[in-house]
């Protein structure tokens, strides 16, 4: 099998984006456009990828790691196009890094949604000896290079929109900017490019006429799905592709059996792994890596990032779970929310209940523990079947250091309590409502720390003067 070397055009400024961020670093589904294109190279099992940078080159190169899916054999290089003198000039910069035994696949850093099977078909059309072009028929081809065919239907060349005649501009089949070509042939054609055209640039598309003149077959692999070759030149186009990308991901999940209440109101900006019979309501956003166990139900407008949610758990609406680097986990049958917040290091056991306006950070809650209302648990270890009262908090920070609170099994913490860490509440103990606990409470004991109630008879409120 012929080795594949990928060239990715990423030198453009993207003026119409009206952004200081280079165009190829604009985000789609939570990731830079260029990273999506590098994933395509990885899916092709490419030998190497050469990213041609220009505008914002330092920023683009610093923000472009090798995709994890590529493996150790993926060779990533950068070359710079300075100044930018056209697509042909861009590819010329990569010539010193090309090996004659390979097929070169030219991609665009702002065209993120080309499917791997489409690119494989394009490579097959090249076959190691032909120039293969990825084309698409558009209802409005304005701005694209038109495919010129002879009377026999064979491709004769590409004419750029600005250089096309009125008759040529009526052609609906356009060049997508993606091609596959043997490196040994590409090298010679690039050396023959000139800038004798309306824009004074070196067009990569001029190699098509050269191939025809040299008797090299030119194959056009035509697709009907315009989204696969759609580029990003403006915020509006980026938004259109975002919805197309999200719909594609939603359809893939539904094909696996996931129940989405409305695929048009679903956002995945990372990796989502779902077991059987998962249900996701509208307006949910998933980022990082999220795993949902069998029968998990996610309520409307939840934001979930870097978390594992076990079978049978229910995440009620408007819950925010963000595990960041530490991760967060929810045990089987747990009930979370609505309006709950789980922060990094939240580890919840089976059938734990976390209710409305409860925040959990870097804490472990054992099976059956409950914090149902208006509470904070930070840097805490909570035992089985603990009932943690409304309005109670762990005071885990002394102004310089974090300290841990230990609440052992079967403890009952009353409402509006402050547990000042480091402190341990022994198994089976009770903390009276309104207490500020600064010392350990023995197992089975009642801990109360509050001022004695005083009633003053015949007391009159102050009156205004």
Cα separation, 198 vs 190, in Å, equals: 19
Instruction: Answer for the pair 51, 167: CB distance below 8 angstroms, yes or no.
Output: no
Which tokens sit at 58? 């330092």
Which tokens sit at 347? 């580890």
Which tokens sit at 450? 């509050």
Please give the full DSSP string across 194-213, using - where no structure is assigned. Answer: ---STT----GGGHHHHHHH
The DSSP letter of residue 166 is H
Residues acting as catalytic residues? 373
The phi and psi torsions of 462 (rounded to 5 degrees) equal: -65, 145
Cα separation, 439 vs 337, in Å, equals: 31
Element (H, E) at 191: helix 183-191
The number of CA neighbours under 13 Å toward the Cβ of 273 is: 11
Cα separation, 244 vs 98, in Å, equals: 34
Residues 318-334: b if buried by 16+ CB within 10 A, e if exposed: bbbbbbeeebbbbbbbb
The answer for residues whose C-beta is within 8 angstroms of residue 228's C-beta and 6 or more apart is 113, 114, 115, 118, 136
Cα separation, 358 vs 376, in Å, equals: 6
């Amino acid at each position: 099998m012929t080795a594949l070397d990928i060239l990715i055009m990423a030198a453009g400024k993207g003026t119409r984006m009206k952004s200081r961020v280079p165009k190829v670093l604009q985000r789609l589904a939570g990731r830079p456009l260029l990273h999506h294109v590098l994933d395509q190279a990885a899916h092709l099992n490419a030998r190497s990828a050469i990213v041609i940078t220009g505008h914002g080159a330092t920023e683009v190169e610093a923000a472009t790691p090798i995709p994890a899916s590529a493996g150790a054999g993926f060779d990533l290089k950068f070359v710079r196009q300075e100044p930018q003198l056209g697509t042909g000039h861009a590819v010329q910069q990569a010539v010193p890094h090309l090996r004659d035994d390979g097929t070169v696949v030219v991609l665009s850093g702002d065209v993120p949604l080309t499917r791997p099977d489409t690119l494989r078909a394009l490579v097959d059309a090249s076959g190691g000896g032909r120039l293969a072009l990825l084309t698409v028929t558009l209802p409005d081809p304005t701005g694209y290079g038109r495919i010129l065919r002879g009377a026999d239907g064979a491709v004769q060349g590409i004419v750029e929109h600005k250089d096309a005649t009125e008759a040529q501009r009526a052609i609906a089949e356009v060049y997508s900017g993606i091609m596959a070509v043997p490196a040994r042939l590409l090298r010679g054609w690039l050396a023959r490019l000139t800038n004798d055209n309306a824009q004074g640039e070196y067009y990569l598309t001029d190699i098509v006429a050269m191939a025809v003149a040299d008797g090299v077959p030119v194959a056009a692999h035509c697709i009907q799905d315009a989204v696969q070759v759609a580029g990003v030149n403006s915020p509006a186009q980026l938004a259109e592709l975002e919805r197309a990308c999200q719909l594609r991901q939603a359809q893939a999940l539904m094909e696996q059996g996931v129940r989405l209440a409305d695929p048009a109101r679903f956002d995945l900006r990372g990796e989502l792994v779902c077991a059987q019979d998962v249900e996701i309501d509208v307006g949910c956003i998933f980022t990082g890596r999220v795993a949902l166990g069998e029968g998990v139900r996610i309520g409307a407008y939840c934001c979930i990032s870097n978390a594992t949610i076990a079978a049978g758990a229910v995440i009620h609406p408007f819950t925010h779970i963000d595990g960041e680097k530490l991760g967060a986990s929810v045990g089987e049958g747990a009930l979370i929310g609505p309006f709950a917040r789980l922060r990094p290091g939240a580890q919840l056991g089976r059938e734990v209940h976390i209710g409305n306006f409860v925040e959990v950070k870097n804490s472990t809650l054992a099976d059956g523990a409950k914090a149902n209302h208006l509470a904070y648990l930070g840097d805490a270890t909570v035992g089985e079947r603990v009932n943690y009262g409304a309005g109670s908090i762990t005071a885990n920070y002394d102004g310089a250091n974090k300290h841990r609170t230990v609440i052992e099994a079967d403890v009952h913490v009353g409402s509006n309590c402050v547990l000042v860490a480091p402190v341990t509440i022994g198994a089976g103990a009770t903390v009276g409502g309104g207490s500020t606990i600064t010392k350990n409470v023995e197992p089975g004991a009642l801990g109360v720390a509050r001022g004695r109630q005083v009633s003053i008879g015949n007391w009159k409120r102050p009156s205004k003067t």
